[in-house]
Structure 1
Amino acid sequence: MISDLIVKYLNGNASEEEVELIFEWIDASEANKKEFITLKKAWMLSAVNNNNQKLAWKNLKNKINKTKPKKYKAWFKYAALLILFIAIGKITFTLLNKEKQQPNAVVLETKDASVKIELNKAHVTTPQGQIIAKQNNNEIIYKLEQTTKALEYHTLKIPLGKTFKVTLSDGTKVHLNSGTTFKYPKQFSQNSNRLVFLEGEAFFEVETDKNRPFIVNINNIGIEVLGTKFNLNSYPERQATECVLVEGSVKAFSLNQTSNNILLTPKHKASWHAASNTFKLNKVDTALYTSWIYGEIILESAHFSSFSKKLERAFNVKIVNNNKLLEAQEFSGTINFKTSTLEDILDLLKFDTFFEYHIKDNQIIISNN
C-alpha cells in the first residue's frame, strides 16, 4: 500500500492526507527512508518522457504551494531526498552565455614557465613543433620512457569548470579536478623516486615500481606509494588535506618531520591538520570522494555549504547563499555535473525551498524571496 501512495506522490497526485502518511512512514525508520530513495530512483528511470516528468513536478509544486504553513517543514525535509535525483542528466538548459561561461583552456607550462601551451590539438607540441605528448580529448599521454638526464618538469593548470587527465611517462594515470595545479617530470629518472607536486584535487592510479616509490608533495605533507589508487584533496577553503585510499597502501608523512606519519589501508581517509601538526584516520565510503572523476557529485547528508563549493568548481561560478533555511538542510543524492547545469539544480530546488536567485557577473546570489 505504501508503495502505491509513494507512486501517487511522485506523480503529483497524492492528497495532503496521503502525503502526511508517507512522511510519517519515512520517519518511522532508516530502512523506510532508504526504501523511499530506491523507489524514487526507480520512478526516475521508468518515466516515459521528460514532458511527463515536468507535468508531475508541476502538479507537485502546486500542492506544495497550497500546503498550509505548518506543513512547510515536512515538505522541506524530504526535498533533499527527492530533488537531487532529478538532476541526473535529464534536461539541459543554459545558465549563462556559453562563451562567457567557458573558462580559459587547460594550459601546460614547460620547465622554465616561459612557454605556455593550450591543450586543444591532437598532439602537444612546443612552439618549434616538437611533439611532447599525445592528446585525446581531455587527456594527454606521455611516451613511456625514463631518463638519466636532469629532470625537466612540466606543470598542468586546470581552470574552474573543467577536469583533465594525464598519463605520465611511467604509465601512472592522474585525474585532475577543476582549479588544480599539477607539476611532474616530463620523464622520470631511472635512479630516483618519482616525485610530483599537487595543489587542489587529483585521483591517482599509480603504476607499481618497487625500486622507485611514487611520492606526492602536497601542502607540506608527502604521500608515498609503490602502486595504488587514491584521492588527494587540498583546496584552499578546506581546513585539512585529505588522502582517501581506494586500493593498495600508502604512507602519509609530514615533510618537516618524517617520523610524524600514518599508514593507510583501503577505505580509509587520512586528514592532515597543519595547525595541530597531526593526522586523523577515519573509515569512509570512497565513492563519496572519487565520484567526481566520473562527472558526479555524490552527497550523503551534506549541508548546502559543502554542496555549493563543489558546484562552484564544477560550473566556474561563485554562489552566495543568503537563505538560512536552505543552509540548514542536509542533502543526499547524485548529480552528474557533466550532463546537467547549475540552472537545472537551482530551479528544481526552488520547488521545495522557496528561494529566489539571480545571476550577476558569473555570480549566483540566493535570497529568501
Structure 2
Amino acid sequence: MSEKELKKLLGGYLNDTCSDQEKVFLDTFFDSYGIESDLGGLSDFDYDLLKKEMMGNIKKKVRGIEGRQKKSGYSLWRPWYGIVASFLVLLGISVGFLLQTPEKIEVKQPLLLTQTSLSGQKTDIVLSDGTKIRLNSGSTLVFPDSFGNMASREVTLIGEAFFDVTPNPSKPFIINSGELVTKVLGTSFNISAYPENNLSMVTVATGEVEVTPKFDAADGVIITPNEQAVFNKDNENMQTRKVAMDRYLNWKNGIIQFEDETLGRVAEVLERWYGVHIAMENKALAECHITATYDNARLSVILKSIVYAKKNMEYTYLSEKEVLLKGSCGD
C-alpha cells in the first residue's frame, strides 16, 4: 500500500466514505496491534476520539463481515494480510497526515439551559435557531444552547408555553411535556402541561402538529389550526376537538379567560399569574362556577369581580401574598 493509498484509507474512514472491509481492517488493526504506543504525536484528545469512533463500529461491522463469510464460504480477510504489514511500515506517515489535515474533528456537547418563569411572570425566549417561545407563569423550559449538528431540535417543557417555531424541514422540532411528545417542522402552537393538572392540551395556531403519548406511539394524532389534542392523565386517553383558538392563546397577551370554570381551577390560575396563595374557607366554594374575561387586570379587580357576581362571597388578605375566600356560591 502506498502512502497516498494509506492517506486515502484513513481519510475515508473519518469521513465515513470507506467500505465495510476497509473499516473492519482499521478497527481490527487498532484493537490487535497495541497501537497506543505508536501514536506519540497525537494528543490524548485526538487519539481517544479516533479510537472511540473506530471501536464504536467494530462489533457491528465484524458481525456483518462474519455473516457474509458464512454465506459465501470464503474469507473476506485474506486480501488484507499484506496491507497490515504495509500499514505497520507507514504508520508514522499516516499519523502525520492526521495531524496535518486542516479539518480537525471536535466533539462539542451542547450545554443544557434552564429557564423558569416564576409565578406572576411571563418570560420570552429566543432559541439558537430563531424559534420564539413565550413561557407562562410557573413554567420551566429546558433547551440546548445550540442545536448544532443534532438530527432534531429537542426541548422539554414543564407548564405552559406558546411556540413560534422557525421552519426547518430537515430538522424537526420536538417538545417533551410530561406524557406527551409534540413534533413539528415549523409552525405556531400552545402547549399546556402543568404537572398538577390531569389534562394536557396542545392547541395549534398555524401549520400542522403531531402529538403522541410517550407510552403509545401508535395513538398519535395530527392536528391543524383551531384544533386541540387533549390527553387525560387519569385514563391515558387522547382526543382531538375543534376549539376557539383565542381562548387558549390569549394568556400570552395578558388576557385571562374563564368559561364555566370551577372556582378551584380559577384559584390555581390566579395563584400562578399573581404569585399568591388563595385559600378557601370551605370545600363547597371550590365548586362555584365562574365565566369571565380579564384583560391585564390587577388581582384586586378580579377578586372584586368574583365576589360581586357571587353575592354571598367575600375575600380578605391574610398577608401580602395570601388571600382567603369566604361565604358561599349564591348568585
Q: TM-score, normalised by structure 2?
A: 0.62
Q: Which has the higher contact order (CA 8 A, sep 6+)?
A: 1
Counterpart of 1:357 in structure 2: which amino acid? Y
Which residue matches 2:88? none
- What displacement does 1:191 show? 4.0
Gaps of 5+ in 1: 1-146
- What displacement does 1:329 show? 4.7
Which residue matches 1:357? 315
Q: Does 1:366 align with 2:325?
A: yes
Q: Does 1:210 align with 2:178?
A: no
Which residue matches 2:299? 342
Task: Give me the whole-angstrom Cα distance separating, in 2, the residues matched to 1:314 and 1:236.
Answer: 16
- Do 1:322 and 1:367's aligned partners in 2 also have CA atoms closer than 8 Å? yes
- What displacement does 1:324 show? 7.0
- What displacement does 1:323 show? 6.1
Q: Does 1:249 align with 2:192?
A: no
Matches within 5 A, 1:167-316: 167-316=126-275
Counterpart of 1:355 in structure 2: which amino acid? M
Instruction: Give the count of matched residue pairs.
Output: 221
Task: Give me the whole-angstrom Cα distance separating, in 2, the residues matched to 1:350 and 1:221.
Answer: 37
- Do 1:148 and 1:189's aligned partners in 2 also have CA atoms closer than 8 Å? no
Which residue matches 1:11? none
Task: Give me the whole-angstrom Cα distance separating, in 2, the residues matched to 1:322 and 1:243.
Answer: 34
Percent identical: 29
Which residue matches 1:153? 112
- What displacement does 1:225 show? 0.2
- What displacement does 1:320 show? 1.8
What whole-Å deviation, never above 9, does each CA across 1:71-106 have from its counterpart, x for those lacking one? xxxxxxxxxxxxxxxxxxxxxxxxxxxxxxxxxxxx
Task: Give me the whole-angstrom Cα distance separating, in 1, the residues matched to 2:182 and 2:199.
Answer: 15
Task: Give me the whole-angstrom Cα distance separating, in 2, the residues matched to 1:323 and 1:351.
Answer: 19
Gaps of 5+ in 2: 1-105
- What displacement does 1:160 show? 0.6
- What displacement does 1:189 show? 2.2
Q: Does 1:162 align with 2:121?
A: yes
Task: Give me the whole-angstrom Cα distance separating, in 1, the residues matched to 2:201 and 2:116.
Answer: 20
CA spacing shift, 1:228–1:351, aligned 2, 3 Å: same
- What displacement does 1:258 show? 2.2
Task: Give me the whole-angstrom Cα distance separating, in 1, the residues matched to 2:237 and 2:282.
Answer: 35
- What displacement does 1:156 show? 0.3
Task: Give me the whole-angstrom Cα distance separating, in 2, the residues matched to 1:173 and 1:291.
Answer: 16
Counterpart of 2:192 in structure 1: which amino acid? N
Counterpart of 2:205 in structure 1: which amino acid? V
Counting helix residues as a fraction of each chain, which structure ranks higher? 2
Which residue matches 2:94? none
Task: Give me the whole-angstrom Cα distance separating, in 2, the residues matched to 1:169 and 1:268.
Answer: 28
- What displacement does 1:348 show? 3.5
- What displacement does 1:150 show? 1.9
Matches within 5 A, 1:89-128: none
- What displacement does 1:327 show? 4.9
Task: Give me the whole-angstrom Cα distance separating, in 2, the residues matched to 1:215 and 1:285.
Answer: 25
CA spacing shift, 1:222–1:349, aligned 2, 3 Å: closer
- What secondary structure is seen at the aligned counterpart in 1 of 2:217? coil
- Do 1:287 and 1:298's aligned partners in 2 also have CA atoms closer than 8 Å? no
Q: TM-score, normalised by structure 1?
A: 0.56
What whole-Å deviation, never above 9, does each CA across 1:182-237 have from its counterpart, x for those lacking one? 00111112341000001010000011100000000110321000011111111122
What whole-Å deviation, never above 9, does each CA across 1:57-76 have from its counterpart, x for those lacking one? xxxxxxxxxxxxxxxxxxxx
